[in-house]
Amino acid sequence: MQPFTTLTGIAAPLPMINVDTDMIIPKQFLKTIKRTGLGQSLFFDLRYDDAGNENPDFVLNRAPWRNASILITGENFGCGSSREHAPWALLDFGIRAVIAPGFADIFFNNCLKNGILPIVLPVDEVKRLMQEAQQGANARMTIDLADQTVVSPTGRTLRFEVDPFSKHCLLNGLDDIALTLAKADRIDAFETEQRAELPWLYR
């Protein structure tokens, strides 16, 4: 997992509430177990018409937001089914942080485990950031995970909360597999001891 330290980038405004995971990545794209290639189908029903052509009115189809690395959106983002493909699709598109007044719990945790930083800010601040993001390429934001701050395009500094364990994992690029491998010596020692005491388990 790529570490998340400091991110400076274009923020795309998506002023919608209750965006569910089927809207983020529709069910027909869940057949794959690969984490790559899903970005082109992110927000599929919003980004494309029935013929597969891009909807020119959708923010992620417009310059400069098609190169956004930050998404600013409304309350209860990521609700619905608990598909891990949703953060995979965001990450594959290039989104590394999502700012909202609130998230669905499972989606929130799936983001953290896949290298995306979900940031909860007050509704009024989120609305103000959305307005600033409308400026496009001039509305670059900086997120500093170590300091737990968001610097808005107008220079305002906003603090956000993140639990210490998730912060540690993001800063160091540690997913669940990496966390397990960090204890490889202890796991090997346990298996060696168990093999000697209970050899029948290993036959």
Q: Which domains does the chain have, with CATH numbers?
A: 6-172 (3.20.19.10)
Whole-number pLDDT of residue 200 = 87
Summarize the confidence of residues 146-174 as an average pLDDT: 96
Whole-number pLDDT of residue 192 = 76
**Is pLDDT of 188 > 80?**
no
- If 0-12 CB within 10 Å is exposed, 13-18 middle and 19+ buried, where does residue 138 land? exposed
Greater pLDDT, 67 or 181: 67
Spatial strand order in the sheet of 97-100: 117-120, 97-100, 70-73, 6-14, 140-144, 149-151, 157-159
Summarize the confidence of residues 163-186 as an average pLDDT: 85
**Is pLDDT of 177 > 80?**
no
Whole-number pLDDT of residue 35 = 83
**Is pLDDT of 181 > 80?**
no
Whole-number pLDDT of residue 137 = 79
Summarize the confidence of residues 155-168 as an average pLDDT: 96
Whole-number pLDDT of residue 89 = 97
pTM over 0.85: yes
Summarize the confidence of residues 33-42 as an average pLDDT: 91
**Is pLDDT of 4 > 90?**
yes
Nearest-angstrom CA–CA distance, 55 and 147: 38
**Is pLDDT of 150 > 80?**
yes
Whole-number pLDDT of residue 7 = 98
Confidence of residue 186 (pLDDT cuts 50, 70, 90): confident
User: Would residue 84 be called left, alpha or beta, if left means φ above 0 and alpha means ψ between -120 and 50 degrees?
Assistant: alpha
**Is pLDDT of 175 > 90?**
no
